[in-house]
Every structure is written in structure tokens, then in C-alpha cells.
Amino acid sequence: MKISLIVLLCFQLGILGAATTDKNPSDKNLIQLKQLKSEVNKNLTENILPYWMKNMVDPVNGGFIGRIDSREKKYPEAEKGGILNARILWTFSSAYRVTKDTSYLSMAKRARDYILGHFVDQKFGGTYRSVTSKGEPSDLKKQTYSQSFFIYALSEYYRATGDQKALDQAKAIYMALEKYAVDPKADGYFEVFDREWKRTNDLMIGEKSTKDVKTMNTHLHLMEAYANLYRVWPDPKVGGRLKNLICLFRDKIINPKTFHLNVFLDENWQSTSTVQSYGHDIEASWLLVESAQVLGDQSLLNDIKKISLKIADAASEGLQPDGSLIAEKDYADGKLNTSRDWWPQAETVVGLTNAYELSGDERYLNKAILCWHYIDKNIVDHQAGEWFNAVSASGTISKGDKAGFWKCPYHNGRMCMEIIERVSK
């Protein structure tokens, strides 16, 4: 039975009331949550993970191939991106931890072995941004954004398996970032370095000019990585750096008037962008809460919970009547990017479910479920598997890759596992 039918029955039975203020789910909300869990669990185990297990393993050169396009054409000679491989490791490590399915452990171990054997720079530390299809170093840049995902993934593999070598490598990357990437004057982290950790001015994740010295995106994923590392290695220094990142968001990155995130900033934290990225807003709304929970600072957590709801409300400005979330708005000229990319939809389901948990307001839950319905109808590829890269406002499927440097099983796989774990609790 679909969730919409359950809601209809609830109306007929007279058990649907006004938005609850009790943070424990009502019987009706619990029915909805359990149905949502059932549907995303099926999507995870019968659609997303099998696609990667069937299509992405590289039987010739090891690890995983670098790209599959929108027509399901494989590119075995494509470069293997570090972000892609780290996200594969995180996803299958987490899937094994959550489900205990040993086939996911085999995939996670394959990713772990390939990363330790090919992506780690044994001479200068850190990891390469990409390697060739045969596993030789290709892009030697040390990108803070990319490094964060290796920390995130290796610490998750340790969390799932207890593998000490993975944890040791996560620690080593963390120490390299703290040694080379920290801005000693204005705080935060710089973006890009050459192989020997000398800072460069490459623009790699959407920056428009060299004035865009710091990015929200890098700090967001560094925060989630440090939170996962601290979860398995509660070193006081890591805790201090995690708290610093949370406070940077609270004090520097979140616009105190609009509660949207400043996407790009100069060296002294002044915004250099007029874009509101709704997907990053909603993703940050729940990652900030998770990070503060892992840290265990109750005062900071209370503060962050209040801020989280305000960010979720700001992100909801991008919600459409069909439940989807558009990509972004440039508030300088009002221009909208109405693309429905796969990853903001996934983050919307988690972010709004998190807002429901924090507030008890079932309107957030209803919006999360409506977004999931949109995903299931428009974004999920029910024939070939996985999710399409994006859908236009008119419903046209994007020609973007099904798998590649940026198209990974991380956002959608994580959404499914977040819902499974939250509802199970």
C-alpha cells in the first residue's frame, strides 16, 4: 500500500489532526514512517546497490570503472576519480554496517584495498584526486574537498569492520589537512594544493574567480568527515577541530538574516556569491545536527537544533508543489535554476525528516514523503537501476552520467540508510 493511500485511510478514520507538537511520532506518523522505510529499503537493496555491484566493478584493472553515461555505456578507460571511489567505499561500508549483508562487505573491501593501493600518496601524504584506468596517479592535486571524503569513507569502513589500517589512514589524512590546509590567520581551510601541499589557485568546485578563497561545500563535507572520524576516534584534538567547523557554520557561513548558506567566501569570510543553493542548505540542516550530536556538546547542540530548523525553512523556499526541490536561485537577479538534480532530492528527504524529528511538526514529514514520491516517480530508473542524474522542470531526463566522477551512490544510498536507521530507532 502506498503512503498516499494510508494517509487517505487515516483521514477516513478521523485520526488526522493538526500538526503535532509532540516530538514522538503519532500512530499515524509512525505508519507513514514505517512505509517510507520499507520503500527506501527496497530502493536501496533492489535498485541502487545492485546497480553498482553489477555494473561498476572493473574485472581487468581492479577497483571500479570510472564512468557510465546516461545510455548505460561503460567507459573502462576513463579516469578513476577519488571522490567516486571514496563514496563507493563509504556507501558499501555503511550498507554492510546497517544490513549485515556480507555481499556489501565484499564491495567495501574491494574499494578499501584499491584506495589504499592506488590513491594514497606514499611520499607526500594525502590522496590523489584521480588515477588512470590502470591505477597510475593522474591528477596529483591535493583537494581538501576530496581528502575529506577519504576520511569519511575510511572511518566508516573502520566503524563497520574494525579494520585498523583503514582508521590509521583516515588519521594520517586528517593530520595532513591540519598541517597544510588550515588558514592560520582567519581560520577555516584552503581548497587546493599541489602534490607537495603547496597552495594553488585552481577553481575546482564551482568558484568563479580567485576571490572565492573558501567554499561552503568543502567545509560542509570536512565537517561530516571529522564527525565520522571523531565517532570512532574520540581524540580531543579532533573534537576541538570538529567544534570549530560547526561554529564556523554558525558564525561565518550561515547568513544570519536569511539562514541560507553563503556558497563562496573570501579569505576573511565575506560572501563572494549571490547564489542560494537549496540542496546544500537542506543537507547542512541535518549534517550540522548530526555533527553536534557526535561531538556531545549539549549547549552547542541546543543552539544548532534551533538553527537547523531555520535552515530547513530557508531551503524549503525551493520546494515545488510536486514535492521536488529546484537547484538554486541567484538572489541578485532572481534567476532560478529549476533542474531537479538527484542529490538535492535525496538530501531533502533526510533534511525534512530531521526537521520533523526536531520539531514534531508533521508538515515537515509530509513534505519529505512527497519528495520521496517525486523521486520514485521521476528520478529512480526502475528499468536499468540507480537514479537518473537530473530531470528538467518539464520532466525531461538529463543526459548526465549514471555513474562518474561526481555521480556516486552516496547521496541516494545515504538517504535510504538514514531513513532506515532513524525509523528503526
Q: Give yes or no: residues 257 and 323 share one domain.
A: no
Q: Give yes or no: residues 105 and 205 share one domain.
A: yes
pLDDT per 10-residue tile (average), the chain, 425 residues:
41 34 77 98 98 98 98 98 98 98 98 98 98 98 98 99 98 98 98 98 94 97 98 98 98 98 98 98 98 98 98 98 98 97 98 98 98 98 98 97 98 98 95
Angle between helix axes 164-180 and 144-161 (nearest 10 degrees) is 150
Place of cell 588519521: 171
Rounded to an integer, what distance in angstroms lies between the CA atom of residue 402 and that of residue 390?
10
- Of 379, 407, 399, 402, give the one whose Cα is nearest residue 43: 379
Burial class of residue 122 in the structure, from the number of CB atoms within 10 Å of its CB (0-12 exposed, 13-18 middle, 19+ buried):
exposed
DSSP assigned state of 331? T
Q: Which residues pair with 328 in a beta bridge?
A: 277, 337
> Contact 138/78 with Cβ under 8 angstroms?
no
Final residue before a domain boundary, out of 214, 243, 273: 273
Q: Which residues pair with 399 in a beta bridge?
A: none
- pLDDT, position 23: 64
Q: Which sign does the torsion angle of CA 201, 206, 209, 210 carry?
A: negative
Give a yes or no: residue 19 inside a domain: no
Give a yes or no: residue 252 inside a domain: yes
Q: Which residues pair with 130 in a beta bridge?
A: 81, 139
- pLDDT, position 132: 98
Rounded to an integer, what distance in angstroms lies between the CA atom of residue 62 and that of residue 133?
9
Range of the domain at 261: 56-273
Beta carbons within 8 Å of 51's beta carbon, 6+ residues apart = 384, 385, 386, 402, 409
Q: Which residues pair with 68 in a beta bridge?
A: 74, 403
Three-state secondary structure call for residue 26: coil
Q: Give yes or no: residues 122 and 205 share one domain.
A: yes
Final residue before a domain boundary, out of 256, 273, 290: 273
Strand (E) or helix (H) holding 425: none
Beta carbons within 8 Å of 354's beta carbon, 6+ residues apart = 285, 286, 289, 308, 312
- Angle at the Cα of 266 (from 260 to 272), degrees rounded to 5? 50
> Contact 389/383 with Cβ under 8 angstroms?
no
Q: Give yes or no: residues 267 and 285 share one domain.
A: no
Q: How many domains does the chain have?
A: 2
> Contact 145/94 with Cβ under 8 angstroms?
no
> Contact 92/424 with Cβ under 8 angstroms?
no
* Cα distances (angstroms) measured from residue 35 to each of 3, 42, 250, 369: 6, 11, 35, 10
Rounded to an integer, what distance in angstroms lies between the CA atom of residue 213 and that of residue 185?
13
Q: Give yes or no: residues 197 and 287 share one domain.
A: no
Residue 74, phi then psi, degrees to nearest 5: -90, 150
Give a yes or no: residue 224 inside a domain: yes
DSSP assigned state of 262? P
> Contact 277/297 with Cβ under 8 angstroms?
no
Q: Which residues pair with 261 in a beta bridge?
A: 254
- Of 145, 239, 135, 160, give the one whose Cα is nearest residue 193: 145
Rounded to an integer, what distance in angstroms lies between the CA atom of residue 144 and that of residue 173?
10
Q: Give yes or no: residues 278 and 418 share one domain.
A: yes
79: domain CATH number?
A: 1.50.10.10
Final residue before a domain boundary, out of 229, 254, 273: 273
Rounded to an integer, what distance in angstroms lies between the CA atom of residue 258 and that of residue 210?
26
Q: Give yes or no: residues 297 and 404 share one domain.
A: yes
